[in-house]
Structure 1
Amino acid sequence: MNKDLLKLLDLSREDIYKILNTADQMKYSQKHHIPHDYLRGKTLAMIFEKNSTRTRVSFEVGMYQLGGHALFLSGKESQIGRGEPVEDTARVLSRYCDGIMIRTYAQEEVEALARCASIPVINGLTDFAHPCQVLADLMTVRERMARLEGLKLCFIGDGNNMANSLIVGGLKCGMDVSAACPEGYDPDPRVLDFAKTVDDARFTLCRDPREAAADADVVVTDVWASMGQEEEKEKRQKAFGGVYQVDGALMALAHPGAMVLHCLPAHRGEEISAEVFEAHAGEIFEEAENRLHAQKAVMYLLMGEKED
């Protein structure tokens, strides 16, 4: 693996499977009370310029379970939020800590942090990518379906960071991927360009959610307006409302026994109906739990394991 986890575009298929296999081991150890304090004495700096529940708790708890310590740094309360160049922050934290996790807006900020840091940098979320969440998603699918290759993954909604990372992660793992997005809300062009380069990949971008969901094994959705897009809420409701919702009628088109995933928080009655959410709550909250195990695997592989 590379020094950092910045986006799934940077990982090979073998890298992704190594993380997933390690995450399975982490989950087994945690469930069976097997000590796995591989990061004893190590510290993770966590920079939050975007608020979070799952990201903060899962990284903080994960570091504790690995024997290390997580240090919370709010963007508003640290010098990075007062104009200090991210490059300087990277060089300072590299002298104090063993790893950095950052949850922010611009992908370039994460990339700049990694270029100047001598320690691993983990992308906890940007507007472009959400690699840790999608690793947890892939882990959840493989747990339930026993495989990834050959399955059809469908995404319904905004072509946001989740869509970007799901397309990349799904295609790299041999899945067929379809996405239904309104006009003007497509995934990032870099991701669409990547999809064209994957040998034997079957990727479809369409406007009709019914077309995307047909025979899907996994249906994924996300909120119509992500954090930082609150001022677009009314505009987005007009673009998405009445069409881009995962409901019973849409699920009837998917493969029998299809999974539903949602990275949370969910707005019932908007991107997903309350009935579908509750019918698939077991999968959705297993997905949320798997953030912990997938991120522990990432931290261990980047901060603990030393390859020859």
Structure 2
Amino acid sequence: MKAAPAYPVISVRNLSKSYPLRSWWGGKADVFRAVEDVSFEIRPGETLGLVGESGSGKSTIGRAVTMLNPPTSGTIAFEGIDLARLSPQALCRTRARIQTVFQDPYAALNPRMSAGAYVAEAFRLHRPDMARSERREAVASLFARVGLDPHFLGRYPHQFSGGQRQRICIARAIALKPSFIVADEPIAALDVSIQAQVVNLLQDLQDDLGLSYLFISHDLRMVRYLCHRVAVLWRGRIVELAESDRLYEDPRHPYTRRLLAAVPLPDPAAERARLAARETTNPAPGRPGDLVEVGPGHWVAADPLPEETDR
């Protein structure tokens, strides 16, 4: 992959998200800390993969970064601008350059709107000066860009396959020429062959448009193929962050090793050797919770082992 520029398009600092829990019998209400003290940067043209088990807080981070579900604390800077300090009008304008592709394309689409109208809605909201003929021409061009027949503009979501629906969602996401897209498990609901097509489409669009992605996924092999860097999330905290090849070839945190070990290798001898080589010591010295740089760009949390920690 091409080396990404050095300056960030998205800078997240000490992001935390908590949810209040119901108070029983008049007692003091507690809070659930879904995400704690998460920091990372994404440079122009770069893809950062976010991996972790279900419930680790991946989607919570994705929604917080786009301000769909604002964080409890911390800062999110888009191209140097703190999103929390923007007025509602300014945030609406900025959102044109920050888009999301959701996991379930059918749920993301409005069943009462045609595919063409769904994509054209972005222009109606952010480009009200566009004439109807211009909108239709722009939507047809977007359909062709993502590999859909422009003659399908009048069809409704139930008339498309899962892969085609996701392509419609991608067309909507790139309609306003964003610079940053959160892809929240965009291939999880698709067949394996269709997954490869959608990932290749995302990569082609990145090369052509200079997009930056936060790619959230359970598919560790696809993450390695697509992403420049990978952040491993465990219980709402990043425990390891490194370049993709470095993290897969030399995982340092015990949770990262176990996550990678969950993907079976086709070679039984290599699988046995990998399991025998798993270490059970703390990955890095330091205060629990701190990220320690153990190599160039390779950060590891100085934590006790997952099974020894009771949250």
TM-score by length of structure 2 reads 0.31
More helix by share: 1
Structure with the larger strand share: 2
